[in-house]
Amino acid sequence: MRNNFYTFLVIPQKKRSVKKVTASRRLLQFLIVFLSTISLLLTYFAYDYFTIKHKTFEVRHLQELTEVQQQKIDQLSEKIGNFEQKMADLQQTDSKIRVLARDVNKKTRVALRPAIGKNSPQALGVGGSMPDDQVGKTRLDWMNQHVDRLIEDANAQEQSFRILMEFLKKQKSILARTPSVWPSRGCVSSEFGFRKSPFTGRKEFHKGIDIATLPGKEIVSPADGIIISESHEPNMGNTITINHSNGISTIYAHLLKNIVRRGQMVRRGDIVGFVGNSGRSTGPHVHYTILLNGVAVNPRTYLP
């Protein structure tokens, strides 16, 4: 039976009596199992505690990150709404420019291509707050769809403005070459159309207007063009013809003097000659004719 017991001697450091502790094998086994179990439990609870604490930290960090991302999503959503409003404003500006361009088009007859878009004019959205039920992935999908549509709208608007720029450049070129100012200021002594000839007294067709003014007064080109002839004729006297392209040309007759040469480029307002009384004339004036595709038209339709 002695072999079933263990004796432990406890020897203190100071001079005290040695203590003896006796324990049975079964008790020792129980203590070992008990202490091992307690150690395992303590280890498990410690691991579980630190794991939970770490996860709690991660959750708190994710919550903070989610809040920051949510703020950024809200800001992005607001920017998308503002961008949509800007695009809507640009579309309205595009429409207003096209209305003005159509008014100009009545005079120049230059074709204006329609606006580019799914539904010309473009069906642009208007900014607004995000619905409460559109959160998470649904909200991101909504934002992605709107961004894609805004990119399409921006590309279409860019193309539309490019078309308008091309149109306006053509308009500018045409308007620059369209007679729009008086070649010389004075009194209109004879209008365009049928009249009684001041020389024969018979009815004749007058192909321009006569502007009577002081001799030597400047005569200017009413539009950009190129001098295609400058000559002296028995009836018309010193004469200048300017080609303005697009089928329009102008003739100036009875000049005192020509100061341009054939092939010379002139701009609106450039001096081309001076008022005179050359040729068959009753007094100082400039005879002004506008030809459209070779046919004389009333200059009054081009004058302010």
149 and 171 part of one domain: yes
Q: How many whole angstroms separate alpha carbon 85 and alpha carbon 95? A: 15
Q: Cα-flanking dihedrals φ and ψ of residue 225, to 5°? A: 180, -170
Do 87 and 131 lie in one domain? The reply is: yes
Query: Structurally, how many domains does the chain consist of?
Result: 3
89 & 165 share domain? yes
- Residue 172 and residue 217 in one domain: no
Q: Which of 211, 219, 286, 209 is nearest to 259 (CA)?
A: 219
Check whether residue 80 and residue 62 sit in a common domain: no
* DSSP three-state, residue 180: coil
Please identify, among 152, 176, 200, the residue that sits at the C-terminal boundary of a domain.
Answer: 176
Task: Classify residue 181: in a domain, yes or no.
Answer: no
The answer to the question of residue 19 being in a domain is yes
Residue 240 within any structural domain of the chain: yes
> For residue 123, how many other CB atoms are within 10 A of its CB?
11
Peptide bond before residue 234 is cis, with ω within 30 degrees of 0: no
- Residue 50 φ then ψ, to 5°: -70, -35
Rg over alpha carbons for the chain, rounded to the nearest Å, is: 49
Asked whether residue 196 is domain-assigned, the answer is yes
Domain check: are 156 and 240 in the same one?
no
| Distance (Å, whole) CA 257 – CA 174 | 29
Last residue of a domain, one of 155, 176, 197: 176
With residues binned 3-state (H G I as helix, E B as strand, rest as coil), the percentages for the chain, rounded to 5, are 45, 25, 30
Is 100 inside any structural domain? yes
In a domain, 182, yes or no: no
pLDDT at 214: 94
Nearest partner of 250 among 290, 286, 285, judged by Cα = 290
Give the integer Cα–Cα distance in Å for 91 and 206: 50
Pair 262, 229: CB distance under 8 Å = yes
Domain that holds residue 238: 187-302
Q: Please check whether residues 120 and 191 belong to one and the same domain.
A: no
**Are 219 and 203 in a shared domain?**
yes
- Residue 45 shares a structural domain with residue 131: no
25 and 81, same domain (yes or no): no
Domain assignment present for residue 297? The answer is yes
Domain final residue, candidates 133, 151, 176 = 176
Cβ burial 224-234 (10 Å sphere, 16+ → b, else e): bbbbeebeeee
DSSP assignment, residue 257?
A: E
Q: What is the pLDDT along the chain (304 residues), one digit of tens a residue?
A: 455 777 777 777 766 777 777 777 787 788 888 888 888 888 888 888 888 888 888 888 888 777 777 777 777 777 777 777 777 777 777 777 777 676 666 555 555 555 555 444 444 444 455 455 445 567 677 777 777 787 787 778 778 778 877 777 777 788 888 999 999 999 999 999 999 888 888 899 999 999 999 999 999 999 999 999 999 999 999 999 999 988 999 999 999 999 999 999 999 999 999 999 999 999 999 999 999 999 999 999 999 8
Half-sphere exposure of 147 (CA within 13 A, CB side): 11
Same domain, residue pair 154 and 214: no
Q: Where are the alpha helices (DSSP H) in the chain?
A: 25-108, 136-176
Please check whether residue 80 lies inside any domain of the structure.
yes
Tokens describing residue 298: 């009333």
The per-residue pLDDT for 121 is 42
For residues 100 and 41, state if they share a domain: no
- Give the CATH number of the domain where residue 285 resides: 2.70.70.10
- Both structure tokens of 59: 């959750």
Phi-psi region of 205 (alpha: psi -120 to 50; beta: other; left: phi over 0): beta
